[in-house]
Structure 1
C-alpha cells in the first residue's frame, strides 16, 4: 500500500503543474516571417510529455488548412519544455499570411513572402543613430562634448584631447575602440556587399533628409571619424573613453561631471599593459587586438570612400598603416579597463584582428595600384594561429574573451586566394560550424550557441559565418543551422519573443530593456539587439540584478537558461551597439539574397 501511495504521489507531482484547461504547449515561429523559397521551420514545445503526430499550415484569412505534414521525430527536453518537435514546412511556398496548428495549439500569424526582410537593416540603423555621442540626432542635442583627459599615455595624465563623438556602447555611455571599430567595419562591409539594400533618408549628422549618401555609409563614417580621433598620431592609440563610474545612475546622455575633471571623461591609452584606476585591473598583454581593428576599418573605409572624398580617404589610408605597425610592434590583446566593478571586456585573442588588417591592407594597396607586398602571406600565418574562433571550441567564455565573435579575416582572406589556397581557410569555418552542428542537431531549436553574456551577438556572428561559408563554397548542408540561428533571434526560441526592439512592429519584442531611454523617458530604442539569454548559473551569480516587474516569461524560464524583458536585468536585456551593427549586416544579407534570387 505504501508503494502504491508513493506512485500516486509521483503521478500527482508530475501532472499537477498545470491546471485543467491551462495551456501546456506552444508553437514558436519567426515573427518576421519566411521567404517562399527559403527554409521554413517552427518549434512545438510542451510542458508535458505528449506525442505529436502531424501539424497543419492554415491560411489566416480563410481558416483553411493548405499544407499538412508529419511532425517528425521527437527531440525531447529543452529548457522549460518536456517534449519538443521541429515543424518543417519548407515544402510550402505560396505567399500569404498563415498560422500553424498542431493538436489544439495554434501559432501566432506570420507571413510568407519575398519582402518579409525588406527594410529591416535600415530599421536597425535607428538604434545606431540613437547611440551617437557628441551630437545626438534622436535627442537633437549634444552630449559629452568635453571629452576627454588622458590616462596611461606618454603625455602627462589628465592632458586634454578631443575625442568627442562616436557611439555609446551598450545603452550606457562608455565608449570602446574595440566594439566601435568592429561595428564600423560591419557597417562598411554591409554597404560594400549589399549597396542596393540601404536607403538615403538621413543626413550625415543623423537628422532627417537626403544627402545622396546611403544612411549606412553615413553611420559608418560617424564611426570612422571617432576612430581617427582615437588614433590622432602615428604612435598614439587610445582604447577606451570613460569607465564604469558611468554606472552610478541612469540618465539621458548629457555632460557628465563625476570623473574628477569638470565635464571631461578619462581616455585610456593603449599601453599593452594591465590597467585599472581603482581596485580591479585587466590582464592586457599587447596592443594588436585594438590596432588590428583600427587598421581594417580604416583600410576598408579608404576603399569605399577614395573616389567620394579623396582627402578624407587619404587620412584613412595613412592611419590604416600606422595602426598596423603598432599591432606588429606590440602583439597581444588590449583589454578594456575596469573601474570599481570586476567587469571588463576580457579579450584574449588578437591574431584574428591582425589577419583581417593584413587582408584589408592588401586590398588597399591593390586599390591604390601599389605592390601588395607580403600582406596575404602574413594573413595566412595569422589565420593558422586561430583557425576556429575560440568560443566555439571551448563552448564557453568570459565576457568578450574572444572578440569579435566571428573571424572576419577568414572570409576576406579566402576571397583573395586561389581555389587550392583557399581550401584550408574555408575548412577553418567548416570545422567551427560542424562543431556547433553536432550539438545543435540534437534539439528542436537547433541550438548550440553558448548561453554566455551577449549570446545574441554570438548567434548573429555565427549565422554570418554559416552564410559566408555557404557563399564561399555553394555547400548548403548547414543551411538549416544558419536559418535556425536567424529564426532564434526573431522569435523561434523558448520565450517566443524577438530579441530586437520593435522588430517587427506586430510581434512580441522587448519593451522594457535595460536602457535609460526607455526607462526614464519611454523613448523607443528601435532596432536595438538585446544581449540575449544566459545560463541560469551565470544569472544567479551576477551582481546587482533585481527584476522590477513580475516576469511575463516566468513559465518559460529554466535551470538551463533565462531571459527577462525587464529593465533590472542588464545581463539579458541590455541592447548593444556592436551586436546591432553585426545584425545590420546579417539582415542586409537576407534582403539582398532575396533580390539576387529574383533576378535569376
Structure 2
C-alpha cells in the first residue's frame, strides 16, 4: 500500500464517514485565479459555512457561506462547492468545514512553475530507439512492412512508446508532437535547456520541449518515407505478452527482432482475429501535415514544409479514417472523424478557405455533451484547427469558429452545472485525456473571445486532474511532490524496477460498467480508494488495472501544453495585438551606450517611434534629450540592474519587495532628473528580462506593468560575443532568425540592446536600418509600447 496499512486506512475511512472530505487542487491556486474546493459527505447533512486557515499562524483568514447543496454524486450522498476566489493573499492554507479539514494547499503565483517541464520527463522515458532514462537502445530493428505495395524493410526506429506496451502509433504520436510544438510556440518562456537532443543531460541551444518535439518529428518523417508512402503503426497486440523493459526486445512476430509496420492502405486492417473499420488515409495524413507544417515554422525547415504539403495532398486524395489495427483482442483506436485533422493541416499550411470548408464539416467535436463514445472515437478529442484558423481569419468566419467552440463547451456545461465537481466528461477509457483536451478547448475559446463565462468549468476540469475529484488524488505520477498521486501505475518501469515514471498522466476513472466488462483486469492489492468507488465510476491506483491507472504518452504531451498555459498565465506582456501587422521596437541598456547615436539617427530617418528602457545608472550617465524630443517612450529598467530571481529556479526571489521598490524609485527619480515625465510611465522591462509573477505583482503595486520581448525572434541575443562560445549569435544569424519568424511577427515586441560589450564587434544596431526596411516591405508598421490600444 502506498501510504497506510489497511487497518489504519479503514479506521480513517470509518471516521471520515461522518466528517466528510474536502477535495482540492493539490498543485495549489494562483492569487488572482479562481479557487474552489468540493466538500463531500456520505450522509445527508448539509454545510452552511467554511473557513480558510493559515497553516503557520493558525488564524482564520477567510470565512464564507458554503455553496448550495449539490446533492449526490458518485459515492457521496451530499456535496457542495466551496468558493474562496476572493482570498488572494499568498500563503499555505487548509479549509475547515464543520468537522472536516482539507489537505494543505498553497496560494502563490508560482504554484504551477516547473510542472510542464516535470511532465517532459515521462516523454523522454517513453522514447524508443535510444532511451535516455535507461541509457540504452531498444527496438532498433523496426521493421517489416505489412499492407504495403511491396514487402520490404523500413527504418522506423525512434519515436515514443504509446503507453506501458511498446506499440507505436502515428495517430497518438502526431497529436503529441503537435501539442509539444504548439507549447514551444505559444509558451517558449516556460521551458529550459537542460538536456541534449538525445535526452541526456546537457545543453544544446534548444529548449527541452523543442528537443522532445523534434524527437517526435524525426520519427514521423521516417514513417513517411515517400510522398505516397505513409505508415500508421508499429507492432500490434501480440506485444502484450508479459511485462518487460523496452530494451528487452522479443521475437513476438516470427520475424527476428523486427516488428510489423502497418502501411496506410485506406482499407480495414488486422492480421489476426479482429479488423478495424478504416475507410481512408486523411485522419493520419492530416495529422502528419499539421506537425510538419508547424515544425517547418519552428525549425525553419523548407524540407518539412514540402513534406507537409505532400501529406496534405495525400489526405485530399484519400478522404476517410485510418484506424489503428487490432490483432488477437478487439481493442483498437476507433477514430471515426478526419475533417478536423484536415482542417488543422490546411490552417497550418495557410489555406484558410480550404480549412474553413473542413471546419464546417465538423463544427463541434461529436463526443462533447455525450455520455459515452467508443475508444478514441473522436480523436484528438478536440479540434485544434478551429483555434489555428480563427487566428488567421476575420469577421464572420472568425465569429463562426469561436461559436463552434462555444457550442461544444455549452453542451458540456449544460450537464456539468448539475453536480459539485462540474463534471460532464464521459468516463470512457482515457477520460483524463478527454478532460485535459476539453480544458484546452475552454482555454482557447477564452483566448479567442475574451469571454470568461466558462472559466469555472475550465478551472474545475483542471482541478479534477490534480485532486478535486471523488478519489482525492492527482492523476499525474509524482505531481505534486508529497501529494496523493499514483504510486502503483500499470507500468513495467515502476512495477519491475521501481523506477519512477515522473510526470505520466494516467488514464483516469472509467464507468463501472466498462470496468466490469474488460478482459484481464485483476487488482493486486487491497483497494485504498474502496470508499470512493461507486456504480458511476471507478479508479484504482493498482498495477493490475490497465484501464484506469496506465499512463499514456499522448495524454501527457497534451497535458504539457495545458500546464505550460497555466504556468505562463498572468505573467508580463510579451506580445501585443497578434491580429495586426504591428511591431514594437524596444531598446534596453545599462552599462553600454555605444549604439544610442546610431539607433536615434536610424529611427529618425525611418520615421519610426520606439520604446527605450534604461537603468538609473544609464540615465545618470547619458543624455536622453533627443529621444524625448523625438517622442519615443522612455521607461525604467531598474536602477542598479538587479537580478530579481534565480536563473535556475525562477520562483526563488533574490530581492525583497522593499529592495525592489527602493531600487525602482531611485530609477524613476533619475529618469525625472533626465527630463522624463515619470507621471506617464506605466511600462517597465525587468533587468536581464528575467522576473517572476511576484515581481510582476510588486510592479503592479507601483502602477507599473511588466513587458518583455516576444520569445523566439532571437534579437535579444545581440549582447553575446565570440568568447561566449556556442551562445554567441552573429548579426547575420539573428537577422535570419527574425526573417524566419516574420510570418508570425504580428504584435511582436522586438528587443535590441542599445549598447553591447566591446568584445562584440558585430553590432546588431548597425543593421537596424535594413531590418526596419525589410519589415516595412513585409507590411509591418511600428508603434510605441504605450500607444492607445497597443497592449491587450
Q: TM-score, normalised by structure 1?
A: 0.93
Residue 85 of structure 2 is aligned to residue 90 of structure 1: yes
Q: Assess if the C-alpha contact under 8 Å between 2:18 and 2:43 holds in 1.
A: no
Distance 1:18 1:525, change over 3 A: closer
In 2, the alpha carbon distance for the partners of 1:178 and 1:585 equals 18
In 1, the alpha carbon distance for the partners of 2:346 and 2:224 equals 18
Q: Assess if the C-alpha contact under 8 Å between 1:24 and 1:48 holds in 2.
A: no
In 2, the alpha carbon distance for the partners of 1:531 and 1:594 equals 30
Pick from 39, 42, 50 the counterpart of residue 44 of structure 1: 39
Q: Assess if the C-alpha contact under 8 Å between 1:97 and 1:109 holds in 2.
A: yes
| 1:504-527 Cα shifts (integer Å, max 9, x gaps) | 011100000010000100000000
Q: Assess if the C-alpha contact under 8 Å between 2:369 and 2:424 holds in 1.
A: no
Secondary structure, in 3 states, of the residue corresponding to 1:101? Answer: strand
Q: Indicate the structure (1 or 2) with the bigger Cα radius of gyration.
A: 2
Distance 1:22 1:49, change over 3 A: closer
Pick from 182, 185, 189 the counterpart of residue 192 of structure 1: 185
In 1, the alpha carbon distance for the partners of 2:347 and 2:471 equals 41
Counterpart in 2 of 1:392? Answer: 368
Q: Assess if the C-alpha contact under 8 Å between 1:18 and 1:24 holds in 2.
A: no
In 2, the alpha carbon distance for the partners of 1:155 and 1:44 equals 61
Distance 1:20 1:473, change over 3 A: closer
In 1, the alpha carbon distance for the partners of 2:296 and 2:13 equals 61
In 2, the alpha carbon distance for the partners of 1:133 and 1:19 equals 46
Kindly tell me the number of residue pairs found equivalent between the two proteins: 564
Counterpart in 2 of 1:560? Answer: 536
| 1:190-237 Cα shifts (integer Å, max 9, x gaps) | 000000010000000000111111000000000000000000001100
Q: CA deviation at 1:315?
A: 2.2
| 1:91-117 Cα shifts (integer Å, max 9, x gaps) | 010000000000011000000000000
In 1, the alpha carbon distance for the partners of 2:196 and 2:255 equals 34
Distance 1:459 1:19, change over 3 A: closer
Q: CA deviation at 1:18?
A: 8.2
Q: CA deviation at 1:420?
A: 2.9
Counterpart in 1 of 2:306? Answer: 318
In 2, the alpha carbon distance for the partners of 1:89 and 1:417 equals 39
Counterpart in 1 of 2:265? Answer: 271
Distance 1:408 1:302, change over 3 A: same
Counterpart in 1 of 2:409? Answer: 433
Residue 237 of structure 2 is aligned to residue 249 of structure 1: no
In 2, the alpha carbon distance for the partners of 1:18 and 1:142 equals 46
Pick from 435, 438, 443 the counterpart of residue 459 of structure 1: 435
Counterpart in 2 of 1:166? Answer: 159
Higher relative CO (Cα under 8 Å, sequence separation at least 6) belongs to 1
Unaligned runs of 5+ in 1: 1-16, 307-312, 363-374
Counterpart in 1 of 2:217? Answer: 224
In 2, the alpha carbon distance for the partners of 1:242 and 1:396 equals 28
| 1:456-490 Cα shifts (integer Å, max 9, x gaps) | 00000000000000000110010000000000000
In 2, the alpha carbon distance for the partners of 1:211 and 1:19 equals 55
Residue 438 of structure 2 is aligned to residue 444 of structure 1: no
Residue 188 of structure 2 is aligned to residue 212 of structure 1: no
In 2, the alpha carbon distance for the partners of 1:596 and 1:99 equals 30
Q: CA deviation at 1:321?
A: 1.0
Residue pairs, 1:18-57, within 5 angstroms: 23-57=18-52
In 2, the alpha carbon distance for the partners of 1:135 and 1:281 equals 32
Secondary structure, in 3 states, of the residue corresponding to 2:387? Answer: helix
Moved over 2 A (4+): 17-24, 596-600
Pick from 281, 290, 296 the counterpart of residue 287 of structure 1: 281
Counterpart in 1 of 2:550? Answer: 574
Pick from 95, 103, 106 the counterpart of residue 98 of structure 2: 103
Q: Assess if the C-alpha contact under 8 Å between 2:13 and 2:531 holds in 1.
A: no
Tell me the C-alpha RMSD between the 2 structures. 1.2
In 2, the alpha carbon distance for the partners of 1:102 and 1:352 equals 46
Pick from 493, 501, 516 the counterpart of residue 469 of structure 2: 493
